[in-house]
Amino acid sequence: MKTFEYVILSFPMTRKSSLADMQASLNAKGAEGWEVVSISSSEFANVGHTVFLKRETTAAGVTA
């Protein structure tokens, strides 16, 4: 049976470069085997984005 681990990242949209920072961070996580499964965005009060990622693990808990 496949097992997964998850991580949640928050990206406040407070600077003009925030989207570039978000892209760089997600590319780094992708290189570690993480996959984005969902993004929640809110323009209200300039909250930004919450990103949910997962990656498969082995039975011993080591990343596949």
Domain with 47 in it: 3-57
Does residue 64 belong to any structural domain of this protein? no
- The three-point CA angle 53-55-61 to 5° equals 130
The confidence score (pLDDT) of residue 56 equals 96
User: Residue 39's beta-bridge partner residues?
Assistant: 51
Does residue 62 belong to any structural domain of this protein? no
CATH number at residue 11: 3.30.70.2000
Give the mean pLDDT of the chain.
85
Q: Where residue 23 falls among pLDDT bands split at 50, 70, 90?
A: very high
Q: Please give the Cα distance from 51 to 30 (Å, whole number).
A: 13
Of residues 35 and 41, more confidence is placed in 35
Does residue 7 belong to any structural domain of this protein? yes
Does residue 63 belong to any structural domain of this protein? no
Does residue 29 belong to any structural domain of this protein? yes
Does residue 44 belong to any structural domain of this protein? yes
Does residue 14 belong to any structural domain of this protein? yes
Number of domains forming the structure of the chain: 1
CA dihedral 42→25→30→52, nearest 10 degrees, is -30
Secondary structure element (H or E) that encloses residue 28, with its range: helix 18-31
The confidence score (pLDDT) of residue 49 equals 86
